[in-house]
């Protein structure tokens, strides 16, 4: 078993999301970890209905306009087992990454390979090299997007 230890599962479950930056080829990639659990079980359960991993990892961008899903100091907006884009309100299934509503309907978030072992989350994606916890603050959206969603949080 190999991989870079990222954080504890408990941290992701308690905070609702956790982000890190990794290198892929010549580019940096933002990745967000989110809880994955059957809605009836709630976010905090150790086993979900989608294969036993309580956490999933996704590239930290909405498929519609490359809007960050997780922002520093805010985290990711989650509702009913979905990660919600803060700009247009598209909701991505936290376990599957698929979206069936809003501007991003019919798309799926890009998954990142992780493993959960002994209560910790490990980066196991051969294409990525861990750089640091958190996100770069260079894309100018520190105050968040101007929402055009009909959803309120």
Contact of 147 with 62, CB cutoff 8 Å: no
pLDDT recorded at residue 51: 54
153 or 52, higher pLDDT: 52
Q: Report the SS3 class of residue 14.
A: helix
* Distance in angstroms (rounded) separating the CA atoms of residues 7 and 86: 25
* Distance in angstroms (rounded) separating the CA atoms of residues 112 and 39: 22
Q: Where are the domains of the chain?
A: 4-133
Contact of 85 with 97, CB cutoff 8 Å: no
Residues in a beta bridge with 111: 58
Q: Read off the pLDDT band of 53 (50, 70, 90).
A: confident
Taking only the tens place, the pLDDT of each residue in 8-22 is: 999 999 999 999 999
Task: State the Cα torsion 91-94-97-99 to the nearest 10°.
Answer: -20
Q: What is the mean pLDDT of residues 111-117?
A: 97
Taking only the tens place, the pLDDT of each residue in 62-90 is: 999 889 999 999 999 999 999 999 999 99
Distance of CA 28 to the CA centre of its chain: 16
Residue 28 corresponds to which tokens in the numbers above? Answer: 């940096």
For the 4-133 domain, the top CATH level (class) is: mainly beta
């Amino acid at each position: 078993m190999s991989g870079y230890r990222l954080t504890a599962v408990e941290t992701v479950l308690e905070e609702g999301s956790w982000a890190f930056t990794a290198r892929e080829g010549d580019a940096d990639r933002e990745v967000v970890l989110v809880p994955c659990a059957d809605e009836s079980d709630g976010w905090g359960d150790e086993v979900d209905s989608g294969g036993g991993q309580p956490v999933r990892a996704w590239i930290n961008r909405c498929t519609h306009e490359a809007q960050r899903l997780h922002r520093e100091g805010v985290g990711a907006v989650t509702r009913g087992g979905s990660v919600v884009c803060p700009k247009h309100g598209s909701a991505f299934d936290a376990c599957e990454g698929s979206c069936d509503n809003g501007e991003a309907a019919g798309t799926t978030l890009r998954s990142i390979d992780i493993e959960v072992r002994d209560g910790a989350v490990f980066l196991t994606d051969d294409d990525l090299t861990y750089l640091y916890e958190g996100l770069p603050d260079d894309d100018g959206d520190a105050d968040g997007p101007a929402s055009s969603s009909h959803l309120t949080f």
